[in-house]
Structure 1
Amino acid sequence: MRITLATFLSLDGVMQAPGAPGEDTSGGFEHGGWQFPYADEALDNPAWWEEADGFLLGRRTYEIFAAYWPTAGDENDVIAARLNSLPKYVVSTTLDKVEWNNSTLIASDVLGRIAELKSRPGRELQIHGSGVLAQSLLDHGLIDELRLWTYPVVLGSGRRLFEPGRTATALRLVESRASSTGCVLNVYQPVGRPTYGDFTE
C-alpha cells in the first residue's frame, strides 16, 4: 500500500489545532480554530477518501477523531463511513487501549510495523494530521505522497510539520489548486535527497 499524508498548514507551517479553539492547547497554543475563516469545499476531494484501505493515526489525532466521528455524518458521508469501518492503526506509547471500531494499537517497533503494513497489497494507508508520526515517517522515507492545504494566515507559534532537524528531502509537485478564500492545495511526492548547485559557475 502507498502511505499518504493529508494535513492543514498555516503559511508559516503550523499544523496544530486547525479545527477548533480547544482542539489542542498544548504548549500554551492560543490560535486553535485558525482554519475556520478560510473553509472552502472546493478543495475537498472525496475520491481520496475512497482510496483508503486503512488509516495511520498518532495519539492526539486518534483521540480527536474517536471523540467525533463515531456519531458524526450519515449514510451518505464518505468520510464518516471510511473512518468508522476501515482499520485504524494508532501509534502511541502512552495509550493502554484503543476502543474505536477496528482500531489497533502500535506501541513498539513502530517503523517495522508500519513498513510491514506498507508492504501489504492494497491502495492507501492514510495519515491525517498526526504531526509527530508524520515527521518520523517522512524522515525514514515511508511516505509516498503529501497532500498539504496551506492557508493564508501566519500564526507565529505552534507545532510545525517541518521542524528544524528534519531529514533533507526533495519533493516533486504533482498537483496544485487554489480556493476562493486563498487556501492552496499542493500535492507532493518525495523524490529522494535534494541536489545542489552553484549559480556563480
Structure 2
Amino acid sequence: MSGAGRKIVLQMMTTLDGRLDDPMAWLHGVSDDQYRDIDQIYAGFDTVLVGRTTYEEMAGYWPGAIAEGTETNRRMAHRMNAIKKLVFSRSGASPLTPWTNAEHIVVPTDSDLAKHLADLKARPGGAIHLSGGAGLAQSVVALGLVDEFRFFVYPTVSPGKSWFAKLPAGMDLQLLGSCAYENGVVGLHYAPRERTKEVRRDSFTDMLT
C-alpha cells in the first residue's frame, strides 16, 4: 500500500456490486443529507484526479452552476471551479475544454501514472480526490496508491466496471466510519490494511469453533 504523505482518496458513488461507470444506468438521485456530506468531505481536498471523458462532463456543467440549484450545489460549484484539476489521458491527442486550474497530464503507461502520483503525493498540500472515470480509478486502485476509500453505496446491483476489477490480488479494508442517508444510500469510509497470511480453514463451521 501507499506510504506517508498526502492522501489519495477514492470517493465515488457505487452499486452493491461495485459499479462505477455509467451512473445514469443505476443512480436514482442524491438526497440533501447525502449532498451536504459530499460537500463537507470535498472541503478537505485541494486537488482532483480525473480522466479525460469525465473531465469534459464536469467542464460542461460546473462553470455555469455557480448561480444554480440549492445552496449546497452552488457551494460545490465554487469548490469545483477553484480546485486544482489534474486531467489524465493516455495520448493527449486532443486539447482540453478550457477551465480554471485544469492541467492535462499525459501518462502513456501505468508506470508513468504511478510515478506522477507518487511525486504528487510527496509534495506539500491537502488530500487528493480520485474521481472518475472508471478506467482511471481502476488503474490507481490496482497500483496500490489509494489511501482511503469513501463509497456512497446505492441499494442496487448493475453490471458494469467495478473499482476492484483490476486488482492483481485481494484487498483487506479497515472500516473508519459509516452512515445511512434518507434515500437508502449507505456511506462507507475505509482504509486499506496489510493482508495477513492465515491458514485456510477446511469449512465454514471451522471458523465458528
Tell me which structure has the larger Cα radius of gyration.
Answer: 2
**Would you call these one fold, judging by a TM-score over 0.5?**
yes
Distance in 2 between the 1:120 and 1:74 partners?
34
Kept in 1, the 8 Å contact 2:85–2:103? The answer is yes
Letter in 2 for 1:148: F
Q: How does 1:29-178 map to 2 (within 5 A)?
A: 31=25, 34-36=26-28, 38-44=29-35, 45=37, 46-74=39-67, 77-95=74-92, 96-98=94-96, 99-108=98-107, 109-155=112-158, 157-163=159-165, 165-178=167-180
Unaligned runs of 5+ in 1: 21-30
Pairwise CA distance, 1:5: 0.9
Q: Give the secondary structure class of the aligned counterpart of 1:4.
A: strand
The answer for the alignment partner of 1:27 in structure 2 is none
Distance in 2 between the 1:67 and 1:42 partners?
25
How much identity, in percent, do the aligned residues show? Answer: 32
Distance in 2 between the 1:176 and 1:54 partners?
24
**TM-score scaled to structure 1, two decimals?**
0.83
Moved over 3 A (4+): 164-167, 193-201
The answer for the alignment partner of 2:16 in structure 1 is 11
**TM-score scaled to structure 2, two decimals?**
0.80
The answer for the alignment partner of 2:189 in structure 1 is 187
Unaligned runs of 5+ in 2: 1-5
Kept in 2, the 8 Å contact 1:170–1:194? The answer is no
